Amino acid sequence: MFKKHKFISFLIIFARMGTSTNYIELKRGLSLYIKQYYKPTTVTANTYSWGDRIRTIIGKNYPCILGLTSHPRYGEHWVVVTGYNFTSHNSGTYTVNDGWGNVGIKINSSCTDGGVDIG
């Protein structure tokens, strides 16, 4: 869907080198990129319980960027959700691509704090 190199270059504008990227910066960069290269759409940043929203976005085959917090391996990190398995309403695991070349990684939902999606 995205032109990978243009997208990465575009997001770098909104991220300060050597610091973390927050939800506002990620949402703003993604919104501006989509408006410039694709039809206008809504980019949503959520920082609340995410189970229902993930199911909706993944069901539409849209990308979903999930924020990790206090994860034992990744600490504070962005990942891309490719699937999920919930044992209750908003509790379970996400299947993610970690951005470091690892795919199919299972992340407990308790280690997430929100996300950014196109929807």
Instruction: Profile the chain (119 residues) by mean pLDDT over runs of 10 residues.
Output: 54 55 77 72 63 77 85 90 80 88 91 81
- Summary count for the chain: helices (H), strands (E): 3, 6
pLDDT of residue 99: 84
pTM of the model as a whole: 0.73
**In this predicted structure, what is the pLDDT of residue 41?**
67
Helices within 1-119 (DSSP H only): 4-12, 23-37, 51-59
Residue type, 2: F
Taking the C-alpha atoms of residue 94 and residue 27, their distance in angstroms, rounded to an integer, is 21
Q: Specify burial of residue 86 (Cβ count, 10 A radius: 0-12, 13-18, 19+).
A: middle
